[in-house]
Amino acid sequence: MPAVVLTLADDISTDVIYPGRYMATVLPSETPQWAFADMTEFNAALRSRLIPPGSIIAAGNNFGCGSSREQAVSTLKGHELTIIAWSFARIFMQNAINLGLRLATAPGFTAAVGDEIRMTERAVVNATAGSSFEIVRLPAARQAIIDAGGLIAYTRNRLARPAGTGQ
């Protein structure tokens, strides 16, 4: 079962997730090295692959606020992290859907580092603490992008469709 590897407060900005000084690095293949670069211990753990894929970051409200930089999503996706937050900032959430970063909006979710987490379609279950939190479901149109495998694949499918054949 995946475990929580980091707990964060409200309003974690993209400057914390991916500091602006690394923005010249743009390719998803290169951005993972700078994830939480200013949190040096956690960054070092990620770089040395001590954090297993599928591990969970638990955050409060408004995760990913601030800039539109997509590196903040690709850097987390590169480490195959899952983000569970009480709420997400708009652009971050859209970028996450577009790139296929795993996330869940679960208001009230509480966990400590090391807690084991099970996720169902509707709920986040903290198996260690014995608590469960409902997941806010995504609007159908957003789910369609996830189901297509991200926005690149979704757009590719759309281009292949003759013009005017529905939305």
Is 95 an interacting residue with respect to other proteins (CB under 8 A)? Answer: yes
Decide: 123 and 45 in contact? Cβ < 8 Å: no
The residue behind tokens 């539109």 is: 68
Nearer to other proteins, 1 or 144 (CB): 144
Instruction: Considering only residues 9 through 28, tell me which ones interact with other proteins, judged by CB under 8 A.
Output: 10-11, 13, 15-16, 19-21, 23-27
For other proteins, which stretch binds (CB under 8 A), given 75-83, 107-115, 121-129, 145-153?
145-153
For other proteins, which stretch binds (CB under 8 A), given 49-57, 63-71, 112-120, 121-129?
63-71
Q: How near is the Cβ of 166 to other proteins at its closest, in Å?
A: 11
For other proteins, which stretch binds (CB under 8 A), given 50-58, 95-103, 116-124, 127-135?
95-103
Lookup: tokens for 48: 């040395």
Is 161 an interacting residue with respect to other proteins (CB under 8 A)? Answer: no
Is 79 an interacting residue with respect to other proteins (CB under 8 A)? Answer: no
DSSP state of 34: G
Decide: 145 and 98 in contact? Cβ < 8 Å: yes
Q: What is the Cα–Cα distance from 47 to 52, expressed in whole angstroms?
A: 11
Strands 82-85 and 56-59 turn out to be parallel
Considering only residues 89, 101, 103, 135, which one is a binding residue for other proteins as defined by CB under 8 A?
Answer: 89
Considering only residues 33, 61, 110, 131, which one is a binding residue for other proteins as defined by CB under 8 A?
Answer: 61
Bridge partners of 63?
A: 88
Strands (E), the chain: 4-7, 56-59, 82-85, 102-105, 117-119, 123-126, 131-134
